[in-house]
Amino acid sequence: MLHQRTSRRLAIAAALLILPMTGPATAHAAQPTAAAAPPAGPARPATDPARPVTDVRPAAAPDISVAAVKAHLSQLQSIATANGGNRAHGRPGYLASVNYVKGRLDAAGFSTVVQSFTYGGATGYNLIADWPGGDAHDVLMVGAHLDSVAAGPGINDNGSGSAAILETALAVAQTGSAPGRHLRFAWWGAEEQGLRGSTYYVNNLSAAARAQITGYLNFDMVGSPNAGYFVYDGDNSDGTGAGPGPAGSAEIESVIEDYFAGIGVPTRGTDFDGRSDYGPFIARGIPAGGTFTGAEGTKTSAQATLWGGTAGARFDPCYHAACDTTSNINDTALNRNSDAIAYAVWTLAAGDGGTPGTQVWADGFETATGWTVNPAAADTATSGTWERGTPGAASSGVATQLTARTGTYDLVTGAAAGSSAGAGDVDGGITSVRSPAITLPSSGTLTLSFAYYLSHLNNASSADYLRVRVAGTTTATVLTVSGAATNRAASWAVASTDVSAFAGQSVRIIVDAADASTASLVEAAVDDVLITQS
């Protein structure tokens, strides 16, 4: 978290910064065709501690594993240890942190972009990760700064927020969520230098792209050892400081308060004082909210009575210090805040589509479920035909075949290619595979998502391709990836498309791969097929 004196200077300057960028593109659906201590303020309502407490997460909101969040913190600690003891802007430990987070998100199927900027003579980086699907004109962003100060590894400030939103993002992928709103996660650079990364991002968006962001959640220091439970005061119910956030901020505050009330933990407000990365968002009128467990401020006796801990001691005794290590984390606070993040994301991301993604049908290929190779008896491929297999990694200058995205098995064109690039690739024409019949519900928004890759060498052409279709009373092509005379490395991606036009029908998914060029190397795979209803 930014030092308080610096934040005041930034608050004065925030409204003066205006520049122009484009936002990330989003997928589209194919259409069917025939065939300081924060202000104390009044305590928020809480459940009676003597009453039984029930978990108020929506049915679809997962329980975020604190062990998994702490595993990310251990990785960030190791990165700092290997890079001079910190993960600060312009230092190698920061870029290594970006690469770690990016690697986890890429493997999970997010579309990631690393945005570079310059500050203080050093290059900084923002990491932006978009989950496919959702309304591109109604974007919910979730962010945390990833950098530390130079004095230490920054595990609470702000490894804690970064790790918690990372595990939440991974949960989005693992559950196959299909929210009504488009979800975008962000890890900001150079926050400790004055919110430089988030400010650069917001100010370089085009007006149209900025207007698409309809809410921003910020999580900065969510595991302080002597923790408080603070929620950004979107409605100015505390009546102190900067006043309310932009319209919509009160609703964000209410959602987060609901979670804590449901687990019997009272909350207090914290002012939008410009000390963290919500600053440039609220300066542009974007509603914001989030949680905070305290920094260098001192816990009062009243707060110690409310939450436990030590009165007269700092919320974080290692704030901006070398001792901000993995030993500087309150597991209970980290666990509660991680679950609060998931609750807020699942609740707010639902948008007009209801709760994110009730699973209708899924196949990760770990067991045989009845996919049929060459279902029309018309395939022409002579090798590398589709199979449910356990592929090994192979390469020929670039990666040509990957191991399964999750688990051990996937659908792959010739798993034997793992022994030698090209040993079992598609040759001779088309190979196809068809799913078992899937009965779709007759109502709601139906979303098909799946992971895939197509790889080829520069002896390929546009006649080579990977294609995915949905067949019911009509047939829709939902993905086509064409070859080209260039090296294309295998890399898992995730496609998501609206298949509501097939509501109430029995459908099958058909996957085709073609090597229609002479002597070209073509490989393809599909994994983690999911249909959800929202």
- For residue 491, give Cα distances in angstroms to 114, 130, 393: 17, 16, 11
User: Which CATH number is 390's domain given?
Assistant: 2.60.120.200
Establish if 50 belongs to a structural domain: no
User: Which CATH number is 157's domain given?
Assistant: 3.40.630.10
How does DSSP assign 134-184, residue by residue?
SEEEEEEEEEEE--B-TTS--IIIIIIHHHHHHHHHHHHHHTT---SEEEE
Radius of gyration from C-alpha coordinates of the chain: 25
Establish if 476 belongs to a structural domain: yes
| 367 lies in the same domain as 296 | no
Establish if 298 belongs to a structural domain: yes
* Angle, CA of 168, 171 and 176, to the nearest 5°: 135
Read off the amino acid at residue 417: A
Q: Looking at 325, 353, 381, which one is the last position of a domain?
A: 353
Establish if 117 belongs to a structural domain: yes
Give the domain extent around 282: 56-353
Q: Is 218 exposed, middle or buried (0-12, 13-18, 19+ CB in 10 A)?
A: buried
Tell me whether strands 122-130 and 111-119 are parallel, antiparallel or unpaired.
antiparallel
**Are residues 260 and 267 in contact, defined by beta-carbon separation less than 8 angstroms?**
yes
Establish if 9 belongs to a structural domain: no
| 331 lies in the same domain as 412 | no
Residue 224 DSSP SS3? coil
| 260 lies in the same domain as 242 | yes
| 157 lies in the same domain as 194 | yes
Q: Looking at 320, 335, 353, which one is the last position of a domain?
A: 353
Q: How many domains does the chain have?
A: 2
Q: Active-site residues: which are they?
A: 191
| 288 lies in the same domain as 193 | yes
| 210 lies in the same domain as 308 | yes
| 409 lies in the same domain as 341 | no
What are the beta bridge partners of residue 475?
33, 471
Establish if 60 belongs to a structural domain: yes
| 297 lies in the same domain as 404 | no
What are the beta bridge partners of residue 467?
480, 512
| 316 lies in the same domain as 392 | no
Establish if 39 belongs to a structural domain: no
| 325 lies in the same domain as 217 | yes
The pLDDT profile of the chain, 534 residues, written as one tens digit per residue, is 766 544 443 443 333 332 223 233 233 333 333 333 333 333 333 332 222 222 333 436 899 999 999 999 999 999 999 999 999 999 999 999 999 999 999 999 999 999 999 999 999 999 999 999 998 989 999 999 999 999 999 999 999 999 999 999 999 998 888 898 999 999 999 999 999 999 999 999 999 899 999 999 999 999 999 999 999 999 888 877 777 889 899 999 999 999 999 999 999 999 888 889 999 999 899 999 999 999 999 999 999 999 999 999 999 999 999 999 999 999 999 999 999 999 999 999 987 544 445 779 999 998 999 999 999 999 988 888 989 988 888 788 878 888 887 778 999 987 765 556 556 677 778 999 999 999 999 998 898 988 898 888 887 788 889 999 999 999 999 999 888 888 888 887 777 788 999 999 999 999 999 887 666 777 889 998 989 887
Tell me the backbone φ, ψ of residue 95, rounded to 5 degrees. Answer: -65, -35
Q: Looking at 353, 370, 399, which one is the last position of a domain?
A: 353
**Are residues 428 and 380 in contact, defined by beta-carbon separation less than 8 angstroms?**
yes
Read off the amino acid at residue 62: P
| 137 lies in the same domain as 262 | yes
Establish if 13 belongs to a structural domain: no
* Angle, CA of 470, 471 and 473, to the nearest 5°: 135
| 329 lies in the same domain as 406 | no
* Angle, CA of 61, 67 and 68, to the nearest 5°: 65
Backbone φ/ψ region at 351: left (φ over 0), alpha (ψ -120 to 50), beta: left
